[in-house]
Amino acid sequence: MTQVDALGLACPIPVIRAKKALEALGEEGGVVVVLVDSDISRQNLQKMATGLGYQSEYMQKENGVIEVTIVAGGGCAVVSQTTEDGSGLVVAIGRDTMGEGSPELGHILIKGFIYALQELVPPPTHVLFFNSGSHLTSSDSNSLEDLRALEAAGTVILTCGTCTNYYEITEKLGVGEIANMYGIVTAMAGAKRLINI
């Protein structure tokens, strides 16, 4: 068993350290136990494990410590997570407006842009939201209906958890999933084409 102490570390560091520990196990597999103190980190670790085909579970300990156990079976190797089907298009949205100039016009433009994305055939593989762009996936966003249509068409919608925490809107997530920066970087790195707004 390998233990990774990620207490007090911000995302995506716990996920990156856990992934390195899993890679070090090699083909034989084994168990990695990661200690974190954030439920967002716990969720991100379990999403990573699931994405790699590994089993995971967690236990709440004293003083806010969460112990995440990841079991990598023999013959399971950490593989690259790239998308081979669909358009290969990844869209990264780092603000809740589009372009420079009038903020009011920028809000109208970003809504139109997201609407236009759902008309693409095939749709984007991922749409990523970070910084003030994270407001666009909240339950009171005027783009929520269009984003849900994209998700229904198979697009993965990811919103930066550090950003939703910063803006205090994590509980208002209306579409997609919370992700860490490692997940966002992985999606960008796997893109055949990338649009950055």
Task: Show me where the domains of the chain are located.
Answer: 2-72, 89-196
Distance CA 143, CA 111 (A): 6
pLDDT tens digit string along 106-127?
A: 999 999 999 989 888 899 999 9
**How far apart, in Å, are the Cα atoms of 75 and each of 10, 29, 72, 130, 141?**
31, 7, 9, 36, 44
The pTM is what?
Answer: 0.68
Distance CA 154, CA 165 (A): 26
- Cβ-proximal residues to 145 (8 Å cutoff; 6+ apart), any chain: none
Beta pairing class for 66-72 and 30-36: antiparallel
Distance CA 33, CA 182 (A): 19
Q: Do the Cβ atoms of 110 and 141 come closer than 8 Å?
A: no
Q: Which of 5-9, 48-52, 70-74 has the lowest mean pLDDT?
A: 70-74
The sign one gets for the Cα dihedral 164, 169, 170, 172 is: negative
pLDDT tens digit string along 117-176?
A: 988 889 999 999 999 999 999 999 999 999 999 999 999 999 999 999 999 999 999 999
If you classify domain 89-196 with CATH, what class do you get?
alpha beta
- Cβ-proximal residues to 119 (8 Å cutoff; 6+ apart), any chain: none
pLDDT of residue 130: 97
Long-range contacts of 77-82 (CB under 8 A, 24+ apart): 77/26, 77/27, 78/19, 78/22, 78/23, 78/52, 79/52, 80/190, 81/51, 81/52, 81/186, 81/190, 82/189, 82/190
CATH architecture of 2-72: 2-Layer Sandwich (3.30)
The token pair at 28 is: 């034989």
The token pair at 111 is: 């809504």
Distance CA 187, CA 124 (A): 11
